[in-house]
Structure 1
Amino acid sequence: MQTLKNLNTSQLTKSKKALIRADLDVPFPSNGEILEPYRLAALLPTLQFLLEKKIHPVICGHIGRPQGKEDPKLSTNNLKPFFDSQIGANNYSLLENLRFDAREDTDSPDLAEEFAKELISTTQAEVFINESFATCHRSATSITQFPKMLPSFAGLRLAQEVETLSSALTNSENPKIAIVGGVKSSKKEAVYALAEKFDTVLVVGKLAKTPQDPENPKVLYPVDYSGEGLDIGAKTAEIYAKTLFTARTVVWAGPAGAYDQGYFEGSRQIAKAILSSKAFSIIGGGDTIFCLNQLKMLEDFDFVSTGGGAMLDFLAGKKLPGLVALSYYE
């Protein structure tokens, strides 16, 4: 039976401080202004839930990849104006970027345990809440160690993510179509794993077909590109739109083009095709969220997952370390 511990328990209500692993990895320009606060806003219901129970939330997480070195541009101090405006400056504590300490991503069990114990001792937290679905596919110290040391629960948003994605696999209507984009070749594994569970997988972004890729009629790759390969082409968009029109369930992770360089058209056409269909639509991942928000189409989708890679791994049937730590698979 796959279940997550509910926040509303007696152990939680007796606590005074809760350590929350949050998804703080939001984009910043050079002036420090938050470009896309969606992931931070997704945390607010859990924070408000705790405050109503007079439990002080201690928020922790990472921004970017500082590789164990301090970087003011990646400091969580940049997030304080957001949280101050939403829940009040004196109603929470915010730890510094966990990745400023190399032990957050260490392969050493001893160093990971040491770091987790230090954080618990410093914060005096009595319970742990995982509210970072986007990081659940990683074995970070803050994801896997805290549940070994404290009573642990899934945050309200994380529980909703798991419930919605599980339903997309087991209770949704066919045809089911997955769209996978990005630049990392590691996503190829997810593409072919998803082909075992979905009727069709549409590949976008820089994930071009190579001679080493297996032949699978369920997996469609772009037939043309625009912008010197920085976006899918018009023919691909047309083929994909016809496929998507028949869908009843769509899951999408990864923009179709290099939106950060101004290539939005492929993503726009895919979004229009999904929204013109009768499909229940799920999109996920920071890049996809940012891209669709720029297109002013984000709110038109039925569900927005904060995780991209985590969402794909979950749907592909992989056991996520963050959910293993919460005893989800037991």
Structure 2
Amino acid sequence: MEKFLTLDDLDVSGKRVLVRCDFNVPFHNNKILDSTRIDRAAPTLLELMDRGAKIIILSHLGRPHDKNPLLSLKVVQEALSDTLYGTCIHFISDCIGPDVEKAVQNLENGQVLLLENLRFHIEEEQNDPLFADQLAKLGDIYINDAFSTSHRAHASVEALPHRMPIVAIGRLMQAELEALSFVLESPKRPVMGIVGGSKVSTKLQLLRNLIPKLNKLVLGGGMANTLLYAQGFSIGKSLYEESMKDIALDIISFAKERNCELLLPSDVIITPEIKENSPFERTTIENIPENSYIVDIGPTTRRSIIAHLKDCHTVLWNGPLGVFEIPPFDEGSHDIALEVAKRSRDKDLISIAGGGDTVAVLSKMGVLNDFTYVSTGGGAFLEWLEGHTLPGIKCLERTLPEGLHCPLK
């Protein structure tokens, strides 16, 4: 992490520290349904509290078009307090202005102030410089601990860091960047990629960027269907992209050129209807009926993937291998996830996963905590894997201005 300052580089005692978190969590009737993002922010916040910082939390929630009380960040106040072992979380119903500045001024060392939803101000999503100026008044140090928002050039993510004398990354951001840098730049080989999802078109850039870095690539879902179709197999009524035939063939050729072994299904699970309790059967890819849908990889394919896994030391997973929402069409993803989890627990494998559906799959299978690292960044995770520069990361790549020594250690 030489490009970035971390908490290890800072003296935060008595300093006003702006922490950009991602508390965009699902909730219903004012109850948090999944507190993962809040829980993952805890290490940074607890460390700052212990070291006597005055903590000001910035976040967004949902997509309000105005000051919508139903999307107030006050909903996370109680859950955040619980995560921080009963710490009193002060809350104020705005994020800029004299009242907010006074609330910050009244903070004592180790206290936490949660500001209102940044997106209550349209200027946040416009990356407005004047809005960023007002936020900058509130702090001495800026810490971004929200990798999941760093692909967006919003004011609290991109414009604000340019206005702060000292910027750094939090523990969650540090863990994300270390995990992703490892898998893309210096992985322990052989490396297997597992990429699922419905469309080749949405992950074309990801495949082009990943294939040269992988030794083996497993494809599942609609993406695999498109490649099977491009090779002349009948795939019945299954989801695929007819217009991507030539590009699918290019992907196959590109993988061969780069010595990346492409692992496509040899057998599949088919059904006449994609719904609960629909009859299903296993068949080879040469014998798929015209009136059937492919909904999962078959048992022979699963065994083949697991056999290939035994030779690998690193796995990068993005996307389910079947229609995981409807049992038993989740069995392919389930079997592979269990094997990756087991080898990860045994320290035989480094496993990194990310993307919304991927996290849902691993959570459903009960193996989320067994993977070496699971990214909280959905869109940001994908854009990083595609090789894009994230605006919220790029603006943090700077050192302390010459002649400025405090509050660095």
- Give the TM-score normalised by structure 1: 0.84
**Distance (Å, rounded) in 2 between the aligned partners of 1:131 and 1:301:** 21
Of residues 316, 328, 333, the one that matches 1:267 is: 333
Q: Output one character per residue of 1:188-211: Cα deviation in whole Å (capped at 9) or x when no partner.
A: 211221112112232344445331
The alignment partner of 2:352 has SS state of strand
Q: Which runs of 5+ in 1 are unaligned?
A: none
Task: Kindly indicate whether the alpha-carbon contact (under 8 Å) linking 1:74 and 1:97 is maintained by their aligned counterparts in 2.
Answer: yes
Task: Kindly indicate whether the alpha-carbon contact (under 8 Å) linking 1:26 and 1:286 is maintained by their aligned counterparts in 2.
Answer: no
Question: Are residue 58 (structure 1) and residue 56 (structure 2) matched?
Answer: yes
Question: Are residue 140 (structure 1) and residue 154 (structure 2) matched?
Answer: yes
**Distance (Å, rounded) in 2 between the aligned partners of 1:40 and 1:168:** 25
Task: Kindly indicate whether the alpha-carbon contact (under 8 Å) linking 1:134 and 1:285 is maintained by their aligned counterparts in 2.
Answer: no
Task: Kindly indicate whether the alpha-carbon contact (under 8 Å) linking 1:18 and 1:129 is maintained by their aligned counterparts in 2.
Answer: yes
The alignment partner of 1:186 has SS state of helix
The aligned residue for residue 128 of structure 2 is 112
Q: Output one character per residue of 1:27-54: Cα deviation in whole Å (capped at 9) or x when no partner.
A: 33x3343332222111101101111122
Partner amino acid, structure 2, of 1:5: L
Between 1:302-311 and 1:261-270, the stretch displaced more is 261-270
The alignment partner of 2:340 has SS state of helix
Of residues 233, 246, 258, the one that matches 2:297 is: 233
Between 1:210-219 and 1:255-264, the stretch displaced more is 255-264
Q: 1:152: how far off? A: 0.8
**Distance (Å, rounded) in 1 between the aligned partners of 2:304 and 2:332:** 12
Q: Provide closer, same or farther for how the CA distance between residues 10 and 130 of structure 1 changes in structure 2, counting only shifts above 3 A.
A: closer
**Distance (Å, rounded) in 1 between the aligned partners of 2:113 and 2:326:** 36
**Distance (Å, rounded) in 1 between the aligned partners of 2:221 and 2:73:** 30
The aligned residue for residue 176 of structure 1 is 191
**5 Å matches for 1:22-37?**
22-28=21-27, 30-37=28-35
Task: Kindly indicate whether the alpha-carbon contact (under 8 Å) linking 2:297 and 2:322 is maintained by their aligned counterparts in 1.
Answer: no
Q: Output one character per residue of 1:59-79: Cα deviation in whole Å (capped at 9) or x when no partner.
A: 222233x26345555432221
Q: Percent identity?
A: 31
Question: Are residue 82 (structure 1) and residue 152 (structure 2) matched?
Answer: no
**Distance (Å, rounded) in 1 between the aligned partners of 2:170 and 2:213:** 27
**Distance (Å, rounded) in 2 between the aligned partners of 1:73 and 1:239:** 49
**Distance (Å, rounded) in 2 between the aligned partners of 1:148 and 1:260:** 43
Question: Are residue 101 (structure 1) and residue 121 (structure 2) matched?
Answer: yes
Q: Provide closer, same or farther for how the CA distance between residues 279 and 261 of structure 1 changes in structure 2, counting only shifts above 3 A.
A: same
Partner amino acid, structure 1, of 2:123: R
Q: 1:117: how far off? A: 1.9
Larger Rg: 2
Q: Provide closer, same or farther for how the CA distance between residues 49 and 280 of structure 1 changes in structure 2, counting only shifts above 3 A.
A: same
**Distance (Å, rounded) in 1 between the aligned partners of 2:309 and 2:34:** 27
Task: Kindly indicate whether the alpha-carbon contact (under 8 Å) linking 2:314 and 2:350 is maintained by their aligned counterparts in 1.
Answer: yes
The aligned residue for residue 325 of structure 1 is 395
Of residues 155, 163, 166, the one that matches 2:178 is: 163
Q: 1:287: how far off? A: 3.6
Q: Provide closer, same or farther for how the CA distance between residues 259 and 105 of structure 1 changes in structure 2, counting only shifts above 3 A.
A: farther
Partner amino acid, structure 1, of 2:112: Y
Question: Are residue 253 (structure 1) and residue 295 (structure 2) matched?
Answer: no
**Distance (Å, rounded) in 2 between the aligned partners of 1:183 and 1:63:** 28
Q: Provide closer, same or farther for how the CA distance between residues 105 and 264 of structure 1 changes in structure 2, counting only shifts above 3 A.
A: farther
Partner amino acid, structure 2, of 1:196: P
- Give the TM-score normalised by structure 2: 0.69
Q: 1:276: how far off? A: 4.6
**Distance (Å, rounded) in 2 between the aligned partners of 1:74 and 1:256:** 34
Task: Kindly indicate whether the alpha-carbon contact (under 8 Å) linking 1:245 and 1:274 is maintained by their aligned counterparts in 2.
Answer: no
Task: Kindly indicate whether the alpha-carbon contact (under 8 Å) linking 2:342 and 2:370 is maintained by their aligned counterparts in 1.
Answer: no
**Distance (Å, rounded) in 2 between the aligned partners of 1:241 and 1:268:** 12
Task: Kindly indicate whether the alpha-carbon contact (under 8 Å) linking 2:270 and 2:295 is maintained by their aligned counterparts in 1.
Answer: yes
Q: 1:118: how far off? A: 2.7
Task: Kindly indicate whether the alpha-carbon contact (under 8 Å) linking 1:21 and 1:131 is maintained by their aligned counterparts in 2.
Answer: yes
**Distance (Å, rounded) in 2 between the aligned partners of 1:72 and 1:221:** 49
The aligned residue for residue 282 of structure 1 is 352
**5 Å matches for 1:8-23?**
8-10=8-10, 12-15=12-15, 17-23=16-22
Q: CA RMSD in A?
A: 2.9
Partner amino acid, structure 1, of 2:3: T
Partner amino acid, structure 2, of 1:270: I
The aligned residue for residue 7 of structure 2 is 7
Between 1:279-288 and 1:215-224, the stretch displaced more is 215-224
Task: Kindly indicate whether the alpha-carbon contact (under 8 Å) linking 1:233 and 1:266 is maintained by their aligned counterparts in 2.
Answer: yes
**Distance (Å, rounded) in 2 between the aligned partners of 1:193 and 1:171:** 15
Q: Which runs of 5+ in 2 are unaligned?
A: 90-110, 227-243, 275-292, 400-409
**Distance (Å, rounded) in 2 between the aligned partners of 1:73 and 1:233:** 42
The aligned length equals 320
Task: Kindly indicate whether the alpha-carbon contact (under 8 Å) linking 2:297 and 2:321 is maintained by their aligned counterparts in 1.
Answer: no
Between 1:81-90 and 1:150-159, the stretch displaced more is 81-90
The alignment partner of 1:114 has SS state of helix
Q: Provide closer, same or farther for how the CA distance between residues 261 and 35 of structure 1 changes in structure 2, counting only shifts above 3 A.
A: farther
Q: 1:261: how far off? A: 5.6
The alignment partner of 2:57 has SS state of strand
Q: Output one character per residue of 1:71-121: Cα deviation in whole Å (capped at 9) or x when no partner.
A: 555432221121121231244222233334333222xxxx52122123334
